[in-house]
Amino acid sequence: MSASNAAHSVVEPSTGSRRFAGLLVILYAIITMVPLAWIVLTSFKSPDDAISYPPKVLFKPSLEGYCNVFTTRSRQTQEFIQTLGAPRGLCDNIARSRNMVVAGPSNYVPRFINSLIIAFGSTALAVALGTLSAYGFSRFRVPLKDDLLFFILSTRMMPPIAVAIPIYLMYRTVGLSDTRLGMILLYTSVNVSLAVWLLKGFIDEIPREYEEAAMIDGYTRFQAFVKVVLPQATTGIAATAIFCLIFAWNEYAFAVLLTSGNAQTAPPFIPIIIGEGGQDWPAVAAGTTFFLVPIVVFTVLLRKHLLRGITFGAVRK
């Protein structure tokens, strides 16, 4: 340590080593972003550009991938297409340049809607149940508290396929197989363990004096919970909700094994988007990009709570 940084604490890294560290981290960040950037680029390519060798970085952007993922098209003869009127919309225009007409929305649309319903439904349920239980565990003397909490967590250690076998049989018996309700219940049960652990941490941090003061003022315990604790826990509840949402949104193993047509979500569907003559990569990339956008937004929103979320509240900043 030289005299140049005597003004700082002795443990401050020197400017040189700091710059070097920054350089290495930025290099890693750029390399790690290449695959992701490549998918976003591919989604704007035409099918020919997407499979050209060497891979094209500069290309004429096209929305064909997005059109293909959202619509189904049928091949028609030139004569038939000429009998139709002017193309309706951009996608029809692109389709006609390939001797096709848009026949209707693709299956991606209902899959995406399923994803939305199942993710939001299970998140709402998991957060509601989780908040109540977390408050119960945080504030009351519950017999076998530690065992119950551990039991709640241990349900996450089962391999998903192992859970899927009996769930498949059970849902078949009670008529829940391939239904949205079945998937919502299943995802809720997976998410509720995370929600309880995370929210217990957040509620533990709210001083219990607040509720006691409210109860002295004449609130019942339940009113104190609703009017004092819940508003204080808003940040924690929001962060937990986003974690549950991300899990349910991304989940694949249960979705691919337990759903087929009716309640299938987007993750098992995206890999099987097939065009004429093999996989339609721009369409797959477009479906992927469209699916990833909410996650990127959530990650930015969550960045302060990420650590707590991914370790089930075991590590807190």
Partner 1 sequence: MNDLSASSQITYRAVPIRPAVARRIRGLSDQALAWLFITPTIVLLLAINIFPLVWTIYLSFTNYRANRANAPTIWLGTDWYQSILTDPDIWAAMQVTAHFVVWTVLIETVLGFGLAFLIDKKFRGHGLWTTIILLPMMLSPAVVGNFWTFLYQPQIGLFNYVVAFFTGRDASSFQMLGDVTLSPWAIVIVDAWMWTPYVMLICLAGLRSIPDYIYEAAEVDRASNWRQFWSITLPMALPFIMLAVLFRGIENFKMFDMVNLLTGGGPGSTTEVASITLKRAAFESWRTGYSSAFAIILFVTVFGLANIYVKALNRVKSR
Distance of alpha carbon 281 from alpha carbon 272, whole angstroms: 11
Cβ proximity to partner 1: between 24 and 90 the closer is 24
Q: Work out how close the CB of 192 gets to partner 1 at its nearest, in angstroms, rounded to a whole number.
A: 6
Cβ proximity to partner 1: between 84 and 296 the closer is 296
Determine which residue in the list 82, 85, 157, 277 makes contact with partner 1, applying CB under 8 A: 157
Residues in region 122-141 near partner 1 by CB under 8 A = 129-130, 132-133, 135-141
With contacts defined by CB under 8 A, name the span among 3-11, 68-76, 77-85, 97-105 that binds partner 1: 3-11
Residues in region 187-246 near partner 1 by CB under 8 A = 188-189, 192-193, 196-197, 201, 204-205, 208, 212, 215-216, 218, 220-222, 246
Binding residue count for partner 1, defined by CB under 8 A: 118
CB atoms within 10 A of CB 250: 16
Cβ proximity to partner 1: between 48 and 262 the closer is 48
Binding mask 18-57 for partner 1 (x = CB under 8 A): xx-xx-xxx-xx--xxxxx-xx--x-------xxxxxx--
CB atoms within 10 A of CB 291: 21
Q: Work out how close the CB of 217 gets to partner 1 at its nearest, in angstroms, rounded to a whole number.
A: 9
Distance of alpha carbon 252 from alpha carbon 245, whole angstroms: 14
Query: Long-range contacts of range 179-185, CB-CB < 8 Å, 24 or more positions apart?
Result: 179/262, 179/263, 180/114, 180/117, 180/118, 180/121, 180/262, 180/263, 182/258, 182/263, 183/118, 183/122, 183/254, 183/255, 183/258, 183/259, 183/263, 183/265, 184/117, 184/118, 184/121, 184/122, 184/125, 185/122
Determine which residue in the list 100, 101, 119, 149 makes contact with partner 1, applying CB under 8 A: 149
Question: Is residue 114 within the footprint of partner 1 (CB under 8 A)?
Answer: no
Residues in region 65-104 near partner 1 by CB under 8 A = none
- Per DSSP, the three-state class of 129 is helix
Residues in region 244-303 near partner 1 by CB under 8 A = 246, 249-253, 256-257, 267-268, 270-271, 281, 284-285, 288, 291-292, 295-296, 298-300, 303
Distance of alpha carbon 253 from alpha carbon 268, whole angstroms: 8
